[in-house]
């Protein structure tokens, strides 16, 4: 593959993927990104200009998408509205980008017969009980909970339909929770790290018992790169690194690593409809493509991530205040809605 279009390449996982491909191949990359609040061109700083080009634009713009897809050998589709909390307050952009945007790309790869890889999430499967030994597999029925995860589920189904109905050469992957450098400060791990670095207390939703299956973003990138080259068209691959931890444990590790007391956090109102537990069985990817994660020590990965946020204040500081202000507004809206519903609901 010589030329790849990466949608959402100025976002967290997309930018890390671009860095991974530049370091591990000879391919050149065109990034298309609308630079929403979550996109940051600085995440691509330092990459060779002769191999990485940024086109600012929206994936729902059919004319632009057709032009860009016509110039590449493959598309890797990361662009999305990605934050559950935002989807609970304003679902409309999620429907537009995640569903209409994916549809727009599918029509273009269909016209140009271009290889397509769709990036999705384990959240399409809903959640598991805390004490259930089960993990998600490729055959787990879809059961999404939030506006975010339901739009991702819809996008997965569109991809499958375009494979079956129109012969589009697509693969899909559903990955667990990523962490690492360049992650927006709205997300759990960077929010807590940057709060502590700013002298503010971390915020834990509810009891903190909810479990997420953490994977380092570089392991996600290596898995996607394998699937893009050796995956079977039409197939779905689950990506995970056996990294289950509850939120409280993760927060305590961050507090330890930053030299704070383990109870130096605020327990705040729980997320409505908060999924209890995600867990991925990545056995197929390991067996069929021989993929292995390289960063399974979560404490070591968190230490590396903390060091990155310490050293790169310039990258996250401009979005920190605005993000925390948005959380305050969301909390107020939540309280007003609860009051309007009244007692007994």
Q: Which residues are catalytic?
A: 122-123, 148
Residue in 19, 110, 135, 184 binding ligand NAD, rule: CB under 6 A: 184
Residue 7 contacts by C-beta under 8 Å, 6 or more apart in sequence? 14, 31, 32, 33, 59, 75, 76, 77, 78, 79, 101, 105
Work out what residue 247 binds among ligand TDX, ligand NAD, none; the CB cut-off runs from 5 to 8 Å by kind.
ligand TDX
Q: Which is nearer to ligand NAD, 1 or 95 (CB)?
A: 95
- Residue 43 is classified by DSSP as G
Residue 188's binding partner among ligand NAD, ligand TDX, none (Cβ under 5 to 8 angstroms by kind) is ligand TDX
Residue nearest to ligand NAD according to CB distances in the complex: 11
Q: Where are the beta strands (DSSP E) in 104-199?
A: 115-121, 170-175, 178-179
Residue number with CB closer to ligand NAD (57 or 260):
57
Please, what is the minimum distance in Å from the beta carbon of residue 227 to ligand TDX? 17
Cβ distance 216 to 295 under 8 Å? yes
80 is an interface residue for ligand NAD by CB under 6 A? yes
How many residues in the shown chain lie near ligand NAD by CB under 6 A? Answer: 29
For residue 73, CA distances in Å to 8, 31, 145, 197, 220 come to: 17, 14, 35, 43, 21
Task: Please tell me whether residue 279 binds ligand NAD under the rule CB under 6 A.
Answer: no
N-terminal to C-terminal alpha carbon distance within the chain: 56
Q: Does 82 help bind ligand TDX (rule: CB under 6 A)?
A: yes
Q: Is 97 near ligand NAD (CB under 6 A)?
A: yes
Binding-site partner at residue 59 among ligand NAD, ligand TDX, none, CB < 5 to 8 Å by type: ligand NAD
Quick one: which segment of 76-84, 139-147, 282-290, 313-321 binds ligand NAD (CB under 6 A)?
76-84
Beta bridge partners of residue 266, listed in sequence order: 203
CB 20 within 8 A of CB 221: yes
Give yes or no for a contact between 94 and 81, defined as CB atoms under 8 angstroms apart: yes
For helices 298-311 and 188-197, give the axis angle rounded to 10 degrees: 50
Taking CB under 6 A as the rule, does residue 173 contact ligand TDX? Answer: no
Burial label, 124 (beta-carbon count in 10 A; 0-12, 13-18, 19+):
buried
Q: Between 53 and 260, whose beta carbon lies closer to ligand NAD?
A: 53
Residue in the block written with tokens 């207390």: 201
The site partner of 84 among ligand NAD, ligand TDX, none (C-beta below 5 to 8 Å per kind) is ligand TDX
> Residue 43: which of 5, 15, 3 has the closest Cα?
15
The partner in contact with residue 243, picked from ligand NAD, ligand TDX, none with C-beta cut-offs of 5 to 8 angstroms by kind, is: none
Least distance between ligand NAD and beta carbon 83 (Å): 7
Say whether residue 204 binds ligand TDX (CB under 6 A).
Answer: yes
Site for ligand TDX, residues 86 to 105, rule: CB under 6 A: none
Residue ranges in contact with ligand TDX by CB under 6 A: 82-84, 121, 123, 177, 187-188, 191, 203-205, 210, 212, 247, 271
């Amino acid at each position: 593959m010589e030329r790849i279009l990466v949608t959402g390449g100025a976002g967290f996982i997309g930018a890390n993927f671009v860095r991974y491909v530049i370091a591990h191949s000879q391919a050149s990359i065109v990034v298309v990104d609308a630079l929403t609040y979550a996109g940051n061109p600085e995440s691509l700083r330092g990459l060779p200009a002769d191999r990485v080009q940024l086109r600012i634009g929206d994936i729902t713009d059919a004319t632009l998408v057709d032009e860009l897809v016509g110039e590449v050998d493959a598309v890797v589709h990361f662009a999305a509205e990605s934050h559950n909390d935002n989807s609970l307050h304003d679902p409309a952009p999620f429907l537009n980008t995640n569903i209409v945007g994916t549809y727009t790309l599918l029509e273009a790869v269909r016209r140009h017969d271009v290889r397509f890889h769709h990036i999705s999430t384990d959240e399409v499967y809903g959640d598991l009980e805390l004490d259930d030994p089960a993990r998600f597999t490729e055959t787990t029925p879809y059961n999404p909970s939030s506006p975010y995860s339901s739009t991702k589920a819809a996008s997965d189904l569109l991809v499958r339909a375009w494979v079956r109905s129109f012969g589009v050469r697509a693969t899909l992957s559903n990955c667990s929770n990523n962490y690492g450098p360049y992650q927006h400060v709205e997300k759990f791990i960077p929010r807590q790290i940057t709060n502590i670095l700013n002298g503010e207390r971390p915020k834990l939703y509810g009891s903190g018992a909810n479990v997420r299956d953490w994977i380092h973003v570089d392991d996600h990138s290596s898995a996607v790169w394998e699937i893009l080259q050796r995956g079977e068209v039409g197939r779905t691959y689950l990506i995970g690194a056996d990294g289950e931890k509850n939120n409280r444990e993760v927060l305590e590790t961050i507090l330890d690593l930053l030299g704070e007391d383990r109870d130096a956090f605020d327990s705040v109102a729980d997320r409505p409809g908060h999924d209890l537990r995600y867990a991925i069985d990545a056995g197929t990817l390991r067996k069929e493509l021989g993929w292995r994660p390289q960063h399974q020590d979560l404490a070591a990965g968190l230490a590396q991530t903390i060091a990155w946020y310490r050293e790169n204040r310039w990258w996250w500081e401009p979005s920190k205040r605005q993000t925390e202000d948005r959380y305050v507004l969301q909390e107020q809206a939540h309280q007003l809605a609860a009051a309007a519903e009244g007692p007994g609901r």
